[in-house]
Each structure stands twice: as structure tokens, then as C-alpha cells.
Structure 1
Amino acid sequence: MLPLVLTGCASLQEPTQDDPNYAPLVPEPAPRPVMQSGSLFAQNHSNSLYSDNKARHEGDIITVLLVERTQASKKAKTETKKDSSTSFDPIVGLNGGPVSVGGNVLQFGAGAKSDYKGDSKADQSNSLTGDISVNVLRVQSNGNLVIRGEKWLTLNTGKEYIRLTGVIRAEDVDVNNTVESTKIANARIEYSGTGAHHGGQSPGWLSRFFSGPLWPF
């Protein structure tokens, strides 16, 4: 009963909104330095003549363009065949002739034949397009940006969400402050949903137990 209880408890845990693991980073207010007045030039807010508005600090927002496409194909074929036969000479009687019963000569023989054929084929393709805006969680010492964020959509009685974490290079962020998902290192992209529609697409916990590796038969 222990595997049944553990499997049932695991099925009750559904993702929720405002997960602290995907919460946006709110920068702590820094003490304001004393600025010299009397000039239109502000050193803290100045940009280079050739700079842009790309995100480069903690708490900044970056838009990730989801362009994920994967395709896999696998095919295997196996054939084995084996034939074997063994025969013995007829049994010889006391008179030197073969022993017979009812006119049939007693002779022993054995034969075996095995034939096996196996064929398997698997094709899988996935596609995910869209966009999601995330926060810069941390700026690494080499200038790479750790990003994290989520998006929730409420559709009728169900909810759909996208969660994303990873590391990007600041050079890969274009002038529109966007970056493609294929340029995210250690990307973790999760797209799923909750509610009645999503729950109806998956089997119950008892069915998963009988079809899982813990079922001994």
C-alpha cells in the first residue's frame, strides 16, 4: 500500500502561481548618493553615444522569443533464425536386423526450429513558439545574465503556464531587447497547464501504478 499512497500524494501536487522559484527579482533600493546640482549632466544615468536600452542589470526585463523545434527518428530491425535436427540409426535386434513394431522400424530423431523477427520504429517532433518576458536574476562575473520568469494564462476553467530559466550572453540580446530561446544555456522551459481539461488528458494515479515499473506483473 505504501507505493499506492506515495503515488497518490505525488499526483496531488500541481504547480501554482507566484512560485518563489520563479518570482521576479525586485532590486533593493540603494542609497542615493549626493549629487552635485547646477548641471544638466547626470553621471549615474548617462549613456554612451553608441549605447542602447538592452537589459544588463539585475531586475531588468528581457523578452525571450520561443522558437523551439525538435525532431527525432529511430528505427531498428532484428531477425534471427535457427534450425537444428538430430537423428539416430534404427535400433538393431539380436538377429542383426532393425527392431520393428507392427512393421514400423524403431528409429529416434529430434528436430528444433526457432525463428524471431523484431521491428521497431519511433518518430517524435515537438514545436513551441511564442514569447515570454523574464527578469535578470543575476549578473555573473563574466557578464553573462541569469534569467528567470513565468507567464500564466487563464482560459475558461483551466490555466496554462510557461516557465523559463537559463543563462544568456549579453551580446546575444538584440537591439529590441529580445533573445531567442535557442541561445539560452542550461535552459529549462516548462509549458503545461492545470485544471479539468489538463487533468482529463492524463491517467489516474492507480492506472499509472499498474503501468509503472513498481507493478511486478
Structure 2
Amino acid sequence: MKRLILIVWFISAMIYAQNMRQSSLYSLFSDNKAFQVGDAITIIVLESSQASNNAETSAGRNSSLSANLAGGIDKTSLPKTDITLGTDNSFTGSGSTKTTGVVKTKISAIVDSVYENGNMRIRGSRKIVINGEEQLIKITGIVRPSDISSDNSVYSYNISDAEITFEGSGLIDSSQKPGILTRLFHWLF
């Protein structure tokens, strides 16, 4: 009888074996990391970009032509004549551009899909409205499981094919745009 109970218990344990990933959700000793569709993950956005470009051009051309005439008839001298012809052409141009941007924020995302190699496509957005100013932050990309830290977060620079979008609307945004007449004159000229 004991053998029969032991065999039934062993067979039922084999049939209803637990998935290790499911068991890790309830374990005291495992990390709670995103690994399947629908799981949440925290993205720590730390982006910094800086670019500058400088260009200078200088060109010049100078030419001149001159002639002197002098002489006389019998013992009378003719007035001295000088003819000078000259041209001058020069161009100088310069330009420079400089762009700097820094973004720091945290945003939660959801695992959209999981690829065969374990990489996950994530997407997330956050909308913040303060005093009528609306700010929308969106993020999408692909995350490797090895880049996810034990607190279920990943840095934005570890996301491949990352698309991070910051959009704003409100009084400040509209005051930074040129007026209708200015845009019309820029379009015409």
C-alpha cells in the first residue's frame, strides 16, 4: 500500500510539475524580473547628447593692370599719362551650430512581445499635466533579459532600437512657436 501511494504521488508530481519561472514569482530568494508578455518593467531614462559643427570659408581674388605713357614732339614734352585698371573680389563666410540635450526620468513600460532568444519588445508612456501644460513621454524598444537589474529596471542606453519621444503642449509650447504672419513671411521669402 505504501508503495502504491508513493508511486501515485511520484506520477502526479511528474504530471503536474511546476514551471521554474512560475515558481520564481513566489520564491523569497529569486529576483522579480519581467520575462513574459504583460509584465511591467521600469525604464530609467538617462540620455545626454551634445553636437557641434563649425565651418569657415574665405576666398579672394585681386588683379590689376597699369600702363604709363610719356614722350614728346620736337623739344616739347607731352603730358605724362597713367592708366590703371584693377578688380577686387573677396568672400568671407562662417557658420556654427551647437546642440545640447539632457533628459532624466523614470517611466514604466509593458512587455509587448517576447522573441525566441528571450529578448523583449517593450512600450510605455506617461502623461503629465501641470497647470494646463501637458507633457507626454513615450518609449519603445527591445530589452535583453541580462540588462534587467534585480530591481526590475533597465537603463535607456541598454535598450536597442529605442525610440524616446517627449512632446509638450500648452501655453509655453505655443509661445515658443512663431506667429501666423511670421510663418507666412518665411514661407513667401
- Select which of 81, 86, 89 maps to 2:60: 81
User: C-alpha displacement at 1:193, in angstroms?
Assistant: 1.2
Which residue of structure 2 aligns with residue 63 of structure 1? 42
Letter in 2 for 1:70: S
CA 1:88–1:177 in 2, change beyond 3 Å: closer, same or farther? same
- Tell me the residue number matched to 1:122: 97
Residue 42 of structure 1 deviates from its aligned partner by 6.7
Going from structure 1 to structure 2, the CA distance change for 1:166 and 1:121 (only over 3 Å counts) comes to: same
The match for 1:174 is 149
Match of 2:24 in 1: 47
Q: CA RMSD in A?
A: 3.1
TM-score (norm 2): 0.75
Aligned length: 170
Q: How far does residue 162 in structure 1 lie from its aligned partner after superposition? A: 0.6
What TM-score comes out, normalization by structure 1 length? 0.67
Q: Secondary structure at the match of 1:142?
A: coil
Partner of 2:6: none
Amino acid at match of 1:71: Q
Identity %: 34
How far is 1:205 from its partner? 5.0
How big is the shift at 1:209?
Answer: 4.6
Deviation (angstroms), 1:63: 0.5
Which segments of 5 or more consecutive residues in structure 2 lack a partner in the other structure? 1-11
Matches within 5 A, 1:1-217: 43-44=18-19, 45-47=22-24, 51-88=30-67, 90=69, 103=79, 105=81, 108-211=83-186, 215=188, 217=189
Larger radius of gyration: 2
Q: Please list every run of 5 or more consecutive structure 1 residues that lacks an aligned counterpart in the other structure.
A: 1-36
User: Hey, what's the Cα distance between the residues in 1 that align with 2:98 and 2:121?
Assistant: 34
